[in-house]
Amino acid sequence: MYTMSQLTQMVPPIAQPKLVASGIGVWVVWDGQLSPVLNQIFYDFGGFEQSQVEEQSLWFFFGDEVFKAFARLSSYARVNKLPLFIQTFPASLLVGNKFETSFTCPEEFLNQEVEASQDLEILIHPSFMPTVEGMTGLNIKEFPTREGLTPAGFGLMTTDAAVGYNSPLGWYYMLRPLGDPLDKNTAEGWRSIFSELQALLERLAIKHLSHEGYLIFGLDTVRALRIVTRELLQLEETIRTEDGGRKYWPCVMACVLKQGYHFNKDLPKRIKLDWQQLSPDYPHMSFKSALYLGRDFRVNDVRRSSGKLDIDDWCHISLTSHEQAGEGEGQVPFQLPANLLAGNDVTCFYCGLTNHSARQCPTKAIPDLNDDVWEDLSLVDMARLEEGGMSLNRELDGAGPEVMARLMEGQDIRGLLLRGVFELTFACQLRCLDRIWRSKGKTLPDGIADLAAPDDGEYLWNAVDMVRRCDDEGFENEISAGLAKHERGFQPRSIQGFHAMEQGDWSRAAYFWQEAARSAFSPLQHGWLAFLEGRAMEVQGDYQRAMGLYKQAKSECPKWMEPTYRMGVCLVKMGFTDQGLTELLGPLLGNPSLFNRILLDPELERGRVHILAALWKPWCEALAVRDEKATHLAELPELLKSWFRPDHPFLKEGLERAKFLRELAKINNYVSFYRVVKDYDKFQKDLNQTVEKEIAALNARLKELHVDLKNIHHEAAWFPFGKLLREFNKDFNACANKINWMHSTSLQVPANFRKSLDYVDEIDSAVVLLKARLVTLRIVRDSTLFVLLLGKSFMWLELLGLALSLVAVPGAIYLAQKTGQFWLAGLLETQKWQVQKGLLLIVSIVAMAIAAIKTAVSFEKKRAAIFKAREEMADKAQAKGKKKPEAVKQAKALPPGKGGAAKAQDAKKDAGKGKTKGK
């Protein structure tokens, strides 16, 4: 037994379909090998296979073409055995927001069970019997209730032997070049592209005719529709992108079902289609026709009217990415909500939408410039933007401008999208007029950032408020008073232009803005008023004059990009999308938010497919660079920690920036791609500058420590008792080794830099300790030196005193005898040794006193002279070719361990040899 529910379970469901088409469901069951004739006939007659499992399948047809397919199948079954069970029943085809399809039918048919038939059996649901009986050669017989089937009163379809039906499906294609047919460039461009199209049609053996610039041809099968549509799209793409000398000219294409039309030269006039709104280079057809093409084609919604979407509404077709005529092709995955674009009103001057008039525009309630909206949009993933667009589309279904005003105030994605759409045309809105009046600048766009206070001057704010409230009577009274005061001034005429525009009087609006320009005194005001005139021409559809006025505004304010953007929009509206893209994408590298602006612009809808395809390349390039940078983002925290200590101020800042970059890299948004790359490069630059600054500070600190160690060495080198300096020498040599390692290693390596920071702290602590120990060493050293100098002076004085005393006693005896003082001479002679001893004692005391005084007076001078001589000898030794680092030489120039008077001599000897020894 075969169960229908097995088939329906395989069909993917669509919770909220974009459109629903009622039709005929067909359940087919067979036994053994299925004849390929079934699928061929069903496809040729417009069938959609929904699912197939084991020996049964489920199909959907839009209308009575299914019964003609059954007639063809019955004719085949008369000469070929065809064991098939076929049942028809009411069903619906669901189309999702991405134009994926699903299938649904009444629940009573889902649990049916049946066995395969031995012959061809076609069961017709009672609701379709009148249609079948009205077709020539088709009849209905009674069919007994069969177990397992729903007792709905099915009938058995039979066919006459002579009946024969062909597929009722067929299409007419119409192609028309853009531009004025009388223009020379248009004629030459169309002649070139026409020759290419004619060669294609002749190759496919398709009959065609050309009349008044239209190329018309017919197609008879679904297969032909698929082949020709693919060939046309690939031909247009090849000519447009290839540098082979073939001239490209854009043309619009429309495809309609043959039903009700005839192949003649008047066919384009009978089609209710606005050729000025068709996107160039992409075939336009109904949703029904587009679904016949299959999955190799992308369906793009072009609805411009409000109301429920129908299967016969227009769309246009492009190739899916794997069918593109070239590698690396695709489209940015974003579409504006269809209900936002739908509308029957004239294009709103303020925002460009067609679902409300300028008087009702929600932008009139926005108080001022909201430039932050582009920053907010850059932080939203494209998938979330698309989901928000779908939700916004549901909210706007049949809604008016008051719903948009309410949604615009929301803080969700829907409100953000609406605020972005309304921010696109800020320059031609009333809130810009506020800034223009108060501007202190001379040119745009910088001029509207320097503003006077609202009450700093005489402004017609009441007139502006009345335009916002649509108070026509109050406005006329207010503006009359303003004109009486300001005569033909800039302010009253500029606001009168807005009021006339809202009244639909475009000529008066242009007159008022021209009069305001005569009273304007700055390039800012002249450029803005020319821009308003250009916008008025653009809204009226006079794109050539609009572009001329935009050029005039650009000449007044050369740095203002808005006129250039509007010129690009005008070219897209004219159908010349490639030329418009040159104006639109030119400033993209310098202003990445322009990418999101182009995506949200509702006035670019005519060239939407071209534009999304053109944005694909910069999207992919930015994505590739973002991905390259993103691979390094996970390493940033560890890299920062390897460079800096936990208390370093840059570490905390860097970790926060790294976290922000990691989160930003997760967002699929062109501006986010750009920001990741830019912020990552800036982060690396800041990191390198911080490291260089820290290395410079570290090197400066090393120089200070080196000087401190050098001074410590010079002081300690004179200590006479080397064996007592073991701990001192150990600490000193450790510091010298660390400084030597820091001088010889690369501080650009994080591990070395971090280790050097630790070494500096250790050396700093050691230097403090060495300086404390040096106080004791200095006392001992100076004391020893003082004693040596004192002993030296005392010896020389003592020797001199002894010599004098040895001469003094005999001399005194001799003088006493000569002078007749014999008693004195006798006394000295008998007591000369006692006198000699006393004299020696006196001489020693005097010598010690004199030596102490002399040493105390000259000690500082002699000590400085001795140290200076030592340093000069050491410098001469270094100048003779010493190649070892200073830190090493100082580390090895420690005291030799000898003391006393030999210390100074050994120091001079070592300095003379240019070698020093260290503990």
Mean of the pLDDT values across residues 782-791? 79
pLDDT, residue 244, reads 53
Q: Which residue has the higher pLDDT, 220 or 307?
A: 220
- Assign 762 a pLDDT band (cuts: 50, 70, 90): confident
Closest to 91 in 3D by CA, of 149, 171, 11, 3: 11
Q: In the predicted model, is pLDDT for residue 893 greater than 50?
A: no
Q: In the predicted model, is pLDDT for residue 451 greater than 50?
A: yes
> Measured between alpha carbons, how far is residue 219 from residues 134, 142, 224 in Å?
27, 39, 6
Pick the range with the lowest mean pLDDT from 430-434, 535-539, 878-882: 878-882
pLDDT, residue 304, reads 56
pLDDT tens digit string along 267-325?
888 887 778 888 888 899 999 999 998 888 888 877 655 556 788 888 888 887 645 54
Mean of the pLDDT values across residues 573-590? 85
Helix (H) or strand (E) holding 66: helix 65-77
pLDDT, residue 721, reads 61
The three-class DSSP label of residue 257 is: strand
Q: Which residue has the tokens 């320097």?
A: 450
* Tokens, residue 317: 């077709």
Pick the range with the lowest mean pLDDT from 327-341, 364-378, 788-802: 327-341
CA–CA distance, 605 with 338 (Å, rounded to integer): 10
* Tokens, residue 202: 């002749």
Q: Which residue has the higher pLDDT, 890 or 344?
A: 344
pLDDT, residue 468, reads 92
- Assign 917 a pLDDT band (cuts: 50, 70, 90): very low
- Assign 538 a pLDDT band (cuts: 50, 70, 90): very high
pLDDT, residue 171, reads 93
* Tokens, residue 507: 């000529």
pLDDT, residue 744, reads 79
What is Dmax (Cα atoms) for the chain? Answer: 192
* Strand ranges inside 371-466, DSSP E: none
pLDDT, residue 242, reads 62
pLDDT, residue 22, reads 92
Pick the range with the lowest mean pLDDT from 542-546, 649-653, 901-905: 901-905
Mean pLDDT of the chain: 82
- Assign 896 a pLDDT band (cuts: 50, 70, 90): very low
pLDDT, residue 89, reads 94
pLDDT, residue 245, reads 59
pLDDT tens digit string along 45-64?
989 999 998 889 999 999 88
Q: In the predicted model, is pLDDT for residue 642 greater than 90?
A: no
Q: In the predicted model, is pLDDT for residue 138 greater than 60?
A: yes
pLDDT, residue 764, reads 81
Mean of the pLDDT values across residues 203-227? 88
- Assign 895 a pLDDT band (cuts: 50, 70, 90): very low
Q: In the predicted model, is pLDDT for residue 510 greater than 90?
A: yes
pLDDT tens digit string along 583-595?
888 888 788 999 9
Pick the range with the lowest mean pLDDT from 372-386, 402-416, 840-854: 840-854
Question: In this structure, are residues 542 and 510 in contact, taking their beta carbons and an 8 Å threshold?
Answer: no
Pick the range with the lowest mean pLDDT from 65-74, 252-261, 611-620, 872-881: 872-881
CA–CA distance, 720 with 771 (Å, rounded to integer): 18
Closest to 508 in 3D by CA, of 493, 519, 528: 493
Mean of the pLDDT values across residues 814-842? 72
CA angle 377, 380, 382 (to 5 degrees): 105
Q: In the predicted model, is pLDDT for residue 889 greater than 70?
A: no
Mean of the pLDDT values across residues 344-365? 90
Closest to 732 in 3D by CA, of 721, 742, 740: 740
CA–CA distance, 377 with 385 (Å, rounded to integer): 9
pLDDT tens digit string along 395-430?
887 777 888 888 888 888 999 999 999 999 999 999
pLDDT, residue 97, reads 76
Pick the range with the lowest mean pLDDT from 238-242, 258-262, 441-445: 238-242
Mean of the pLDDT values across residues 510-515? 93
Query: Where does residue 867 rank: exposed (0-12), middle (13-18), buried (19+ CB within 10 A)?
Result: middle
pLDDT, residue 916, reads 34
Pick the range with the lowest mean pLDDT from 183-192, 320-329, 379-388: 320-329
Mean of the pLDDT values across residues 29-52? 88
pLDDT, residue 23, reads 93
> Measured between alpha carbons, how far is residue 864 from residues 143, 665, 771, 861, 873 in Å?
132, 68, 20, 5, 14
| Residues contacting residue 467 through CB under 8 Å, at least 6 positions apart | 364, 430, 475, 495, 498, 499, 502
CA–CA distance, 558 with 865 (Å, rounded to integer): 77
pLDDT tens digit string along 656-683?
888 899 999 999 999 999 999 999 999 8
* Tokens, residue 374: 């582009």
